[in-house]
């Protein structure tokens, strides 16, 4: 996560009237996807009934790349990489699979502000007009896929989004 603000002509000396009072702020979020916890297996009488599957041969992820992923038709996980443990036994899959991660997050928020000082409003009186762009480039960050092997029909499907689509808002503020 990075965050910076730049104010045009904020220093002393001669000021360019065209850029006077303008400010830009940017916040970026770039993150890898969260580790996925694969669940399922026959229930146990202990630990609230939770169990985990066993590892089987095969790739945990399907071969569809994250950049070309279509949640309406593609599966993100391969159910063939896991199997049901025998009755009354624990599965060997860990709490989370560290090498099995969901979708990354790429997000840019930008604000542009114009501050105009008005002497009639007092010494520091001004009017601010602000443009704010959230998720400026409208990147989609899908949520984690369904990862319970007891639900074979839904396993590997993605049905949510981790971020919001692009939002743009304008704001007018009077400071006195």
Q: From the centroid of its chain, how far is CA 52? A: 27
pTM for this one?
0.74
Quick: pLDDT tens for 48-96: 667 889 999 888 999 888 888 999 999 999 999 999 998 888 889 988 8
Query: For residue 79, what is the DSSP state?
Result: G
pLDDT of residue 45: 72
pLDDT of residue 49: 64
Give the SS3 label for residue 167. Answer: strand
99 pLDDT band (50/70/90 cuts)?
confident
3-state helix, strand, coil in the chain (%, to 5): 5, 35, 55
Closest CA to 97 of 62, 129, 146, 55: 55
Task: Take residue 85 and report the two structure tokens written for it.
Answer: 């443990």
> Taking 60 as the threshold, does the pLDDT of residue 17 lie above it?
yes
Q: Calculate the alpha carbon distances from 36 to 55, 102, 109, 113, 125 in Å.
A: 14, 6, 27, 40, 52
Quick: pLDDT tens for 108-153: 999 999 998 888 888 888 899 999 999 999 999 999 999 999 999 9
Quick: pLDDT tens for 26-43: 999 999 999 999 998 887
Rounded mean pLDDT, 171-176: 92
Task: Take residue 45 and report the two structure tokens written for it.
Answer: 């009488």
Which segments of the chain are extended strands (E)? 2-7, 22-31, 35-36, 54-55, 82-83, 97-101, 105-117, 126-134, 167-175
pLDDT of residue 54: 92
15 pLDDT band (50/70/90 cuts)?
low
């Amino acid at each position: 996560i990075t965050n910076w603000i730049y104010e045009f002509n904020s220093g002393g000396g001669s000021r360019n009237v065209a850029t006077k009072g303008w400010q830009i702020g940017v916040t970026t979020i770039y993150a890898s996807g969260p580790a996925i916890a694969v669940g399922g297996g026959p229930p146990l009488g202990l630990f609230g009934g939770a169990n985990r599957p066993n590892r089987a041969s095969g790739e945990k992820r399907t071969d569809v790349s994250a950049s070309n992923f279509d949640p309406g038709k593609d599966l993100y996980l391969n159910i063939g990489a896991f199997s049901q443990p025998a009755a009354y036994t624990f599965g060997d899959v860990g709490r989370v699979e560290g090498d099995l991660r969901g979708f990354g997050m790429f997000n840019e928020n930008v604000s542009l502000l114009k501050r105009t000082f008005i002497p009639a409003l007092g010494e520091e009186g001004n009017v601010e007009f602000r443009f704010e762009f959230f998720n400026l480039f409208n990147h989609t960050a899908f949520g984690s896929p369904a990862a319970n092997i007891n639900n074979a029909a839904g396993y590997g499907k993605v049905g949510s989004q981790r971020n919001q689509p692009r939002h743009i808002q304008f704001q007018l503020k009077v400071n006195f």
